[in-house]
Amino acid sequence: MIESVKDRVVRIVAEQALLAPSDVSLDQTLEDLSIDSMALVEAIFAIEEEFDITVPFNANEPDKSEFDISSVATIVAAVEALIAEQKD
Amino acid sequence: MRRVVITGAGTINPLGHSVAATFEAMREGRCGIGPLDIRDVDRLSIKIGGQVKDYAADDRFNRQQQALYDRFTQFTMIAAKEAIEQSGLEFADDLSAEAGVVLGTSGGGLTTQDENYRAVYEEGKNRVHPFIVPKLMNNAAASHVSMTWNLKGPSFTVATACASSNHAMGQAFWLVRNGAARAMITGGSESMLCFGGVKAWEGLRVMSRDACRPFSANRNGMVQGEGAGVFVFEEYEHAKARGANILCEIVGFSMTADASDIVMPSQQGASRAIAGALRDARIDASEVEYINAHGTGTAANDKTECAAVANVFGRHADKVMISSTKSMHGHLIGGTGAVELLAVVMALKDGIVAPTIGYQEPDPECALDVVPNEAREAKVKYALSNAFAFGGLNAVLALKKI
């Protein structure tokens, strides 16, 4: 079975949170998962490598980024949008 | 304890190829940041920087020198020549043995590393030039200054990332103050604006794509710069006896470690360094009129630095001017404190405080007098220069008008 985008993002987020993927739920925020700014930047790097996409994200203004990091679900949605956008 | 004064200054940086040109640019609030002109810039997402412009190594150095001088060493030699010529010192006999050189750099010969990794990995070459190691080593610049000007006293290189120059100048200050040297050549240099150097910084996602706007609410990160600043620190009686032109006095230095995070700055660590420099100088915060800020333009630094200044200065924080010249020349990393010390010298000597340019929106978390956009005339008797490095290593200098 091919791993879905959601499962792959959850796996990356879980790794940074030092949790098992099954312990990460979509409605959780990065704060809930104790992911700090360094772990976030590492997670974004891992996402870029995993999906071969470029994620627009500046750590100085995380709220202004088009890449919505307010929860695991928004990250999954943002990654799906970037994959569609950057496919060709 | 001996008094320590500055009797020479030299620089090459994005604002100019001399101290006079740099002062003029700082007075006018000119910006030296622009599109990067380097190999493979199209593969970078950050395409701006404070580059030294209109510079050709061939105009300054012969082939043999270029084989040994990385760009950071070239910048150092240019700045050292200007500083030592201004001081009028000649290092012979006893003075030679009692004078040394302490310089800061973070990347050292990073451009040389970048070029040669490219040659062996990308281009598949199996041979590099025989002098790559002495060219790329971090102490290359200090050693070439020592050899060229016959400096035989305490000499070494300090690498503490963004605080390298301040740590270096602090060591030089203490060496002269304690009598271990009569004169020290000190400052720092950096040249990281090569493909690998910028690419590494990109990874951290703290870089701005358009401008360095320290303390402005709409700031969005730091911008890298390159260049060098070099000074002659001299024992006061020695300088006076020979009728030297004294630019200003160094009166205090302090260094602290946050012992907390590898990249996030700590307000306590910064506060302790600022307070320590005041204590070492035996002055009160209320006597300080100007602070040259670390002011990188990142969310993390600017908030923390303003909180630290507010914490140490208390009610006087509203009266002190604090500007970041990184808005004009970018962040010279290991060389930054040295070029920024020029702004302090200008404030003390000429009574002109360099501005924080690119300031557009007040930030309630940085509610200090940041000397926005335009230089200001002011009588400054005491000034501080802050540097807070990745790794939580902080170094603050205190200077006095003379």
CA–CA separation, B128 and B115 (whole Å): 10
Q: Is A44 on the interface with B (CB under 8 A)?
A: yes
Decide if B294 is catalytic. yes
CA–CA separation, B161 and B25 (whole Å): 26
Q: Any idea which fold B4-241 has?
A: Peroxisomal Thiolase; Chain A, domain 1 (3.40.47)
Query: Is residue A4 classed exposed, middle or buried when 0-12, 13-18 and 19+ CB atoms within 10 A define those classes?
Result: exposed
- CB–CB of B371/B356 below 8 Å? yes
3-state secondary structure A29-65: CCCCCCCCHHHHHHHHHHHHHHHCCCCCCCCCCCCCC
CA–CA separation, B4 and B140 (whole Å): 26
Alpha-carbon torsion (B269, B270, B273, B276), positive or negative: negative
Neighbours of A65 (CB within 10 A): 17
**Which residue from A38, A54, A58 is facing B221, i.e. has the nearest CB?**
A58
For CATH 3.40.47.10, list the domain ranges present in chain B: 4-241, 252-400
Q: How many Å separate Cα B88 from the centre of its chain?
A: 23
Confidence of residue A5 (pLDDT cuts 50, 70, 90): very high
Q: Is the pLDDT at A63 greater than 80, yes or no? A: no
Structural domain boundaries in chain A: 5-85
Q: What is the mean pLDDT of chain B?
A: 98
Nearest partner of B361 among B213, B223, B208, B222, judged by Cα: B213
Q: Is A58 on the interface with B (CB under 8 A)?
A: yes
| Chain B CB contacts of A41 below 8 Å | 203-205
| Chain B CB contacts of A38 below 8 Å | 262-264
Please name the CATH architecture into which domain B252-400 falls: 3-Layer(aba) Sandwich (3.40)
CB within 8 Å of A44: residues ≥ 6 apart: A55, A57, A67, B205
- CB–CB of B221/B210 below 8 Å? no
DSSP state of B22: H
**Which residue from A44, A54, A60 is facing B298, i.e. has the nearest CB?**
A60
- Neighbouring C-alpha atoms within 13 Å toward the C-beta of A66: 8
Q: Is A81 on the interface with B (CB under 8 A)?
A: no
Neighbours of B246 (CB within 10 A): 16
CA distances from B198 to A37, A85, B194, B225, B367 (A): 21, 26, 6, 10, 31
Confidence of residue A1 (pLDDT cuts 50, 70, 90): low
CA–CA separation, B158 and B255 (whole Å): 13
| φ/ψ of residue B180, rounded to 5 | -75, -15
Amino acid letter, B176: V
Start-to-end CA distance of chain B, whole Å, equals: 18
Check if CATH label 1.10.1200.10 holds for domain A5-85.
Answer: yes
CA–CA separation, B124 and B146 (whole Å): 36
Q: Is the pLDDT at A61 greater than 90, yes or no? A: no
Confidence of residue A66 (pLDDT cuts 50, 70, 90): confident
Contact at CB, B206 and A58, closer than 8 angstroms:
yes
CA–CA separation, B238 and B231 (whole Å): 16
3-state secondary structure of B73: helix
pLDDT for residue B312: 98
Helix H segments across B314-371?
Answer: 326-329, 336-350
**What is the average pLDDT across A31-38?**
93
pLDDT in tens, B304-328: 999 999 999 999 999 999 999 999 9
Nearest partner of B166 among B80, B263, B235, B231, judged by Cα: B231
pLDDT for residue B73: 98
Alpha-carbon torsion (B140, B179, B9, B28), positive or negative: positive
Confidence of residue A87 (pLDDT cuts 50, 70, 90): confident
Q: Is the pLDDT at B89 greater than 80, yes or no? A: yes
Contact at CB, A41 and B204, closer than 8 angstroms:
yes
Confidence of residue A64 (pLDDT cuts 50, 70, 90): confident
Query: Is residue A64 classed exposed, middle or buried when 0-12, 13-18 and 19+ CB atoms within 10 A define those classes?
Result: exposed
Nearest partner of B295 among B201, B358, B378, judged by Cα: B358
β-bridge mates for residue B291, sequence order = B322, B384
What ipTM did this prediction achieve? Answer: 0.82
pLDDT for residue A88: 65
Residues 215-244 of B with CB under 8 A from A: 219-221
Q: Is A22 on the interface with B (CB under 8 A)?
A: no
Neighbours of B307 (CB within 10 A): 18
Confidence of residue B183 (pLDDT cuts 50, 70, 90): very high
Structure tokens at B180: 């271990």
3-state secondary structure of A67: coil
Confidence of residue A2 (pLDDT cuts 50, 70, 90): confident
Helix H segments across B219-335?
Answer: 236-241, 267-281, 299-313, 326-329
pLDDT in tens, B125-136: 999 999 999 999
